[in-house]
Every structure is written in structure tokens, then in C-alpha cells.
Structure 1
Amino acid sequence: MSRSSEQFPHQATTTSFHRLAYGSNPFQYSELYVPEGPGPHPVVELIHGGFWRKAYDLTLMQGLAQNLVAQGIAAWNIEYRRIGNPGGAWPGTFLDVAAATDYLNKLDSSYHLDIRRVVAVGHSAGGHLACWLACRHLLPSDSEINTSQTPLRLRGVVSQAGVVDLEQAWQLRLSQNVVQELLQGSPSEQPARYAQASPAALLPSGIPQILVHGSVDDIVPVSISRSYAHKASATGDNVQLLELPEADHFILIDPNSEAWQLTVKGIKRLLG
């Protein structure tokens, strides 16, 4: 599932676009957008949301990818198995996101990427997965979702209205109690899965994190990011909460919005 470099349509600057498979499953692929120039280019890994369900895919993040590459930042827009896909939810969703991230180690020389400067950016359920990536080096060695002894170390993480505390999301019954579907049980039924899959349970990550959340978000309440930021700070993590007045859930992934421009400033700070 790969194709050679081609001119990406509707792009203001010269870029190359590649659809690359990181595994053998049809959903184990990513879109790589590479800027003009010799590089090495910093990379933003984009992780889409949709409450981990198969109805939503990486097209949600394509506008952000195009915006980033026009600013000289490579974008790695990943797809993964979701609830409703064979092998999705626990553990496949986590295994795929980890594998897609680590696949960047194989691309640096061919596509002139600087894998020492990778920031993961995720929206909603993708925000959860981005923050989980920052914590996965803390997983127990026998965890079903720990498959790499040397996971790619991120420079930072940006969570856009992320579901960063799975137990809290379960208590709130978000999206018809979707966390129950993701982890195939409640916290009392699957305590180990909640402990290993929820970023809030794995802190401190040791990796800088920026949480962007709208104050009027009625899909993922801002209280989740507030409580996570408090907990992360208490453990010694470098975490910043950007609470945007009057912003809703989806404005955060509108590349023409002020919310996204503020997010890009944060991304550039993390990249250095």
C-alpha cells in the first residue's frame, strides 16, 4: 500500500505525498506529507478522533496536514484499526498507533525527516492516543500493548480536546459509554486495561504536553483536560492547558481557525 511521490493537489508550495503501509492490515497505513527542501524536516504525527470508532478516519486531519507542510513541517497522518474493524479496540487500536509511530524510524533517511523532532498531535480520541504515546515507555513489560523495547521518543504532545482520562470518560458515559467498548469492560472489570491505556493513570510521562480545549465543548467536556493538567503538573510533568473561550469541539481541527493557529504556535515551541 504505497505509491511513489506525487505533487499534492491544492498545495501552495511544492510538497511530496506518500501513502505508506506500516503493517499488513488494510487499516495499517499513513499519509506522509513532506515539504520542499533538503531537510531534515521536523515531523508532526496527526492522530484523528471519532471516539475510536470505524465511522471516522484520517480525512479529518488532512486539512491540518496540508497546513503544516506549507509551513515546512512534515506531517505523518496515521490510520489505525478502530471499534468495529476486525482487530480494533483493545489491543489492536493501541498496537497500531504504536507501530505507526515507530515506523518513522524507517523513513528518516528516505524522506529527510528529523525523527529527533517529532510531536504527536491528536484530536478527541486521537488526543488520548497522543498522550498515551508519551506514556507508553512506562507500560509493564508483560503488557499486551507494549511491543517495543525502544519506542520512538516524542519531543512533545498536543492534545486537542483529548479524552485523556479513560476512567473519568467512563464515569461520564461519553458517547454512549464508548470507553466500555474500547477496553471491553468497566474499570472494575478490566482494571489493568484502564491502568495501561489511560494517560492519566500512567503519569508522569516526562514529555512536555500542551492541552488545547474549548470552553464550550459539549462532546468532550473541558473538565477532563483541567483535571488531567492538574494531575500531570502534580507529578512533575511539563503541561500547559490552553482553554479557548467560546471554542467548540471541532473548531480545533479547522485549519483556518484562530484555535489552530494558536495550536501551531505551541507545536513550533515543542519542536524547538
Structure 2
Amino acid sequence: MVADPRSVLTRPAPAPDVTVRYGDQPEQLADLRRPAAPADVPPPLVVVIHGGFWRAEYDRSHTGPLAADLAAQGYPVVQLEYRRTGQPDGGWPGTMADVITGVTTLPALFAAALPEVALAPGGPILLGHSAGGHLALYCAASAPEHVRGVVALAPVADLAEAYRLDLDGGAVAALLGGGPDDLPDRYAAVDPVRRLPIQVPTVLIHGVRDEQVPIGMSRRYVDLARSAGDDVRLVELAGCEHYGLIDPTASAWLHVSMAIRSLSRRR
């Protein structure tokens, strides 16, 4: 029997070392994990932004296994939580505001909570999956001086197209309150393809077999980003679907680890 790839969403993981708050709302918190061993050269912080089409029923808990794996590889890791649709002030503009606030304040919060862990200068690497990939790209476009690099896994990189395709039954309309014809200013503000160039080194990784977020979305984003002058590349995985990208036991995870390593070596 072939295992259900969605099983990664409920897989248990070791508890984080510390949980901190970056705001006073219930969802404005993050789990911190120290690297398994000290490094000769301080590694960058990796901020994990979970997916789930921005909906309340999906939270950061399903990123526990991958966060634990990254910590075992020697990275300091943060699992960022944020307000989501179906929660008070989730969606426009709270969801996006939370991610910006979290990403820009968490390096200092991590240093205060785990002062024995040295962090590389230059901001964190953002690792976002699906809707979290959208949020990572949006954050890099909005606060590039605070971001070292982005690894976007099957990102919802074109919100207007995702609205037209009705991904996850109206997820984009729930996030922004309507469609691009009704709310053009909101789409212009938060749609990654409309925020180019972001001027942050970026790697997109997408499975060709993805049925949740079509790979064509990443292909179009990369084409437009390159035309705008961004440092961006796309890794296409022929045998991969949507969830293998966040499963540290899957073959796709090697490509994710390699992308993070390549960005961590950049200065």
C-alpha cells in the first residue's frame, strides 16, 4: 500500500526548545529550535512559514518534523505562527502583517531566548511551503533588508491566477476578501508576481505532480522574476507531489536541504 503523502501533516515531532511571542495576539508566536551542535561559522537562522491555504485549521505543528531535521543539520530554526482566515483579524491585512512582524523581530527574540546560539548576520533564510511560500515571497518583497534568502516550496506565487483557478475552494478570496477585479489594490500589495523584483536570492522548488498548486505558477513567477533582474532559480521534481517537499523522509527533501545550504553560504 502506498502511504498517503498527507500523513506528514500529522506526524509527531520533538518538542521545540522554546516558544516565544512576537505580539500580544494568541497566534503571534513561534517555536525555536537550537542547532544540534555548535558550528565553526555561525549559521543563518531559518524561519519556517507553514502552508495550509492561510486557513485556521492548519497550523505550524505539521512543520515540526522538518524543523527538527534542519536543527539536526546544524541550523537554528523558527517555526512561525500567524493569524489565519477563520480567526479574528486573519486574512487581510492581519496575516501578512504578522509575517512581516515575525520575520523582522524573531532574530532578536531568538538571540534573547537562546543566547548561547550564534547567528550569522544578514537576516534569516525564509522557508515557506504553499501558502507559506506566498508569504515568504511577499515578506522578502516587502522587507528585503531583513531577509538573507528565500526557499519557496510549491508557492502560491500568483494570487490572481490562484483566484481564477479557485485553489482550495476560494482560499484566495477568503484571504483578501474578493477577487482581483474587485480589490486590485490588495492584489497589487501582496501578490508576488506583482511585487517583482524582490532583490533577494530565491530558490523555488516544485513537484511536477503537484495537484494542489500547479507548477505552471512557479514557472511563470521565475520567468517574470528573471526578466525583472532577480537572482532566482526553479528546481522541478518530476516524481514529486505537493507534500513530499515538507517530508524530511522523502527524496525531495534533499533538494530543499541543498537549496538552504546554498543560500546559507552566500554573504
Check whether TM > 0.5.
yes
Shift of 1:166: 0.5
Q: Could you say which residue in structure 2 is the equivalent of 1:173?
A: 166
| CA spacing shift, 1:26–1:215, aligned 2, 3 Å | same
Q: Could you say which residue in structure 2 is the equivalent of 1:96?
A: 98
Q: Could you say which residue in structure 1 is the equivalent of 2:9?
A: none
Q: Which sections of structure 1, spanning at least 5 residues, go unmatched?
A: 1-8, 138-150
Q: Could you say which residue in structure 1 is the equivalent of 2:5?
A: none
Number of aligned residue pairs: 248
Q: Which of 33, 42, 51 does residue 49 from structure 1 map onto?
A: 51
Does residue 37 (structure 1) correspond to residue 30 (structure 2)? The answer is no
TM-score (norm 2): 0.88
Shift of 1:115: 4.3
Matched residue SS, 1:243: strand
Structure 1: distance between partners of 2:178 and 2:13? 44
- Alpha-carbon displacement from aligned partner over 1:2-61 (angstroms, at most 9, x marks no partner): xxxxxxx976xxx97110011111100000101133774421110000000000000121
- Alpha-carbon displacement from aligned partner over 1:50-97 (angstroms, at most 9, x marks no partner): 000000000121111100000110111000000001010000000111
TM-score (norm 1): 0.87
| CA spacing shift, 1:128–1:16, aligned 2, 3 Å | closer
Q: Could you say which residue in structure 1 is the equivalent of 2:215?
A: 222
Does residue 118 (structure 1) correspond to residue 119 (structure 2)? The answer is no
Q: Which of 136, 139, 154 does residue 133 from structure 1 map onto?
A: 139
Matched residue SS, 1:258: coil
Instruction: Give the partner amino acid of 2:131.
Output: A
- Alpha-carbon displacement from aligned partner over 1:170-227 (angstroms, at most 9, x marks no partner): 1111111211111101111110100011111000001111111000101101010011
Structure 1 residues 1-272: aligned runs within 5 Å: 17-35=17-35, 36-37=37-38, 40-107=42-109, 109-110=111-112, 111=114, 112-137=118-143, 153-272=146-265
Contact 1:122/1:159 (CA < 8 Å) preserved in 2?
yes
Structure 2: distance between partners of 1:97 and 1:55? 18
Contact 1:214/1:222 (CA < 8 Å) preserved in 2?
yes
- Identity in percent: 41
Instruction: Give the partner amino acid of 2:119.
Output: L
Contact 2:100/2:139 (CA < 8 Å) preserved in 1?
yes
Q: CA RMSD in A?
A: 1.9
Instruction: Give the partner amino acid of 1:250.
Output: Y
| CA spacing shift, 1:22–1:162, aligned 2, 3 Å | same
Shift of 1:258: 1.5
Q: Could you say which residue in structure 2 is the equivalent of 1:141?
A: none
Structure 2: distance between partners of 1:268 and 1:152? 20
Matched residue SS, 1:159: strand
Matched residue SS, 1:113: coil
Q: Which sections of structure 2, spanning at least 5 residues, go unmatched?
A: 1-11
Structure 2: distance between partners of 1:16 and 1:63? 11
- Alpha-carbon displacement from aligned partner over 1:232-263 (angstroms, at most 9, x marks no partner): 11111111111100210001110111111111
Structure 2: distance between partners of 1:117 and 1:98? 13
Structure 2: distance between partners of 1:96 and 1:79? 8
Structure 2: distance between partners of 1:90 and 1:67? 32
Instruction: Give the partner amino acid of 2:262.
Output: R
Matched residue SS, 1:102: helix
| CA spacing shift, 1:171–1:21, aligned 2, 3 Å | same
Structure 1: distance between partners of 2:170 and 2:224? 23
Matched residue SS, 2:223: helix
